[in-house]
Amino acid sequence: MASATSPHSRVVIIGAGFGGLSAAKHLARAPFDVTVVDRHNYHLFQPLLYQVATAGLSPGDIASPIRGILRRQKNAQVILAKVSGVDTARKEVIAEGRRIPFDYLIVATGAEHAYFGHDWSSYAPGLKTIDDATYLRRRILLAFERAETEPDADEQRRLLNFVVVGGGPTGVEMAGAIAELAKRALASDFRSIDPRCARIILIEAGPRLLAPFAPSLSEAARRSLQQLGVEVRLGTVVTDCDCTRVWLGQERIETRTIVWAAGVKASPAAEWLDVGCDRAGRVQVQADLSVPGHPNIFVIGDAAAARGPDGKSLPGIAPVAKQQGRYVATLLIQRGKGKTLPAFRYRDFGIMATIGRKHAVAQVGACRLSGVTAWLLWSLAHVYFLIGSRNRVAVAMNWCWNYLTFQRGTRLITGISGSRIEDVLPALMLAPPTAADVGYSLSDRLPTERGIAR
Ligand SMILES: Cc1cc2nc3c(=O)[nH]c(=O)nc-3n(C[C@H](O)[C@H](O)[C@H](O)COP(=O)(O)OP(=O)(O)OC[C@H]3O[C@@H](n4cnc5c(N)ncnc54)[C@H](O)[C@@H]3O)c2cc1C
């Protein structure tokens, strides 16, 4: 643990996501005092969040306590606090009234939802945190519950329409998972409604799904989704939405559930550091990922706009963040020895997205895979990259169970205890989540991204 008498330089890492944790772990045996600050006490494996939102996995299966991950790393301490600024002149991080001094700072605070200037967050929640996922799970499951007892046919139809906005990997995975939930897992659980009649509509503004993938894989993903019963609308822009409908220009889709998977913007790191950023708010870093004018401050992962050798921005994906975290840690170790390191270079091992229980697309170099082979590769890779053996076993077992039984074991509607169900159902469907809704025990100290802060 860092102490006032320690001769070691102090490295403060803001964010224990993929980038921050990778940096912290690679500094394990280095002569630094490492402080990791995060507003949550857990590291989250975001690629499987959609499975929590659609009742396939429990939150605990895809999150691990940061303290637990770093417990054997003697030179690291963890602080649970929300950072609100950086005093670059005094070299201090400002977090909930506390000032944390640093010699080196690594900012790895990721990204948040972006609504392109619209105030749609309460109608079209996105998926970024555990709270987002359990909130979406509640909304999706409550839509079926309400439809079961709804006397009005129009409202019943509205409740069984699910709109997912954004045809990137998250939108594709969400739409596929909602379709499987409705058409398989819930198929025979209701008496007044047939969940298989639910409409799942995936809206993408661009000409194809999964834009970063090869066109043949985009087409394979579209076909797989259609086989699952998802209506895919390409080249279609959402022009407005509220709690009962989505507008696509003149056309209107009645719905009670909209999932936003269309855009992200970086966390406010650029504001904290008072430096330049791109249109998505990402800090424009130098070739060694340091911030211009601040050689001891680095920004990595989704919060950084780093460029590849071709001049294009690197994608906001986990491998980029992890490699950048490892790079900055190595650079600091080398600097300590009076050496330098060449510029950061991203090694691309490929991209993958899954569509339902046995379809996926994978692009690894020149190799393009789709269908069951890609799905097996996707499953193995995701289990392998999860943090913690417990989570790996839990996820693998859950998937086997879900695969064999078509069931979803975590169809729990949480956050409504203490009230009569009839009282809370309408409110939960219409209103954004509140502190009580989220049921977050630290809510008085650490506001979640949505709801409480508002
Ligand atoms: C739903 C979803 C699915 C995805 N699927 C894939 C996928 O299949 N494959 C893939 O490669 N990538 C995927 N990604 C992208 C990938 O998760 C990100 O690129 C990656 O997490 C970025 O890592 P990071 O370290 O920059 O940020 P994150 O992993 O987001 O970590 C940021 C950390 O900073 C903390 N933090 C933020 N603000 C503050 C603050 N003010 N104070 C203190 N702490 C703060 C957060 O709590 C968090 O722990 C997905 C993302 C999402 C949301």
> pLDDT for 248-273, tens place per residue?
999 999 999 999 999 889 899 999 99
For residue 5, report the distance from its CA to the centre of ligand 1, in Å.
34
Mutational pocket test of ligand 1: of 12, 13, 18, 383, the residue with most ligand atoms within 8 Å of the beta carbon? 18
Mean pLDDT across the chain, nearest whole number?
A: 89
Cβ of 109 less than 6 Å from ligand 1: yes
Residue 421 pLDDT more than 90? no
CA atoms within 13 A of residue 382's CA, in its CB half-sphere? 25
Angle subtended at Cα 353 by Cα 352 and Cα 355, rounded to the nearest 5 degrees: 145
* 173 included as an active-site residue: yes
Mutational pocket test of ligand 1: of 12, 109, 449, the residue with most ligand atoms within 8 Å of the beta carbon? 109
Cβ of 264 less than 6 Å from ligand 1: no
Q: For 68, phi and psi rounded to 5 degrees?
A: -65, -40
For residue 111, report the distance from its CA to the centre of ligand 1, in Å.
6
Contact 74, 161 (CB under 8 A): no
Cβ of 37 less than 6 Å from ligand 1: yes
For residue 346, report the distance from its CA to the centre of ligand 1, in Å.
18
Q: How confident is the model at residue 419 (pLDDT cuts 50, 70, 90)?
A: low
Q: For 144, phi and psi rounded to 5 degrees?
A: -65, -40
Nearest to 288 by CA among 276, 275, 306, 303: 306
Question: Which is higher by pLDDT, 421 or 133?
Answer: 133
Nearest atom in ligand 1 to 45's CA: 17
> pLDDT for 217-234, tens place per residue?
999 999 999 999 999 999
Look-up: residue for tokens 């030179």?
A: 75
Question: How many residues in total does the chain contain?
Answer: 454
Cβ of 2 less than 6 Å from ligand 1: no
Q: Which 3-state string (H, E, C) describes 127-174?
A: CCCHHHHHHHHHHHHHHHHHHHHCCCHHHHHHHCEEEEECCCHHHHHH
Q: What is the mean pLDDT of residues 227-243?
A: 96
Instruction: Please tell me the pTM assigned to this model.
Output: 0.90
Range name among 235-244, 389-398, 433-442 with the lowest pLDDT average = 433-442
Strand partners, 77: 35
Nearest atom in ligand 1 to 47's CA: 5
> pLDDT for 356-402, tens place per residue?
888 999 999 889 999 999 999 999 999 988 888 888 998 988 888 88
> pLDDT for 52-84, tens place per residue?
999 999 999 999 999 999 999 999 999 999 999
Residue 441 pLDDT more than 70? no
Structure tokens at 132: 């987002």
Ligand 1 atom 12 nearest Cα:
317
Residue 422 pLDDT more than 80? no
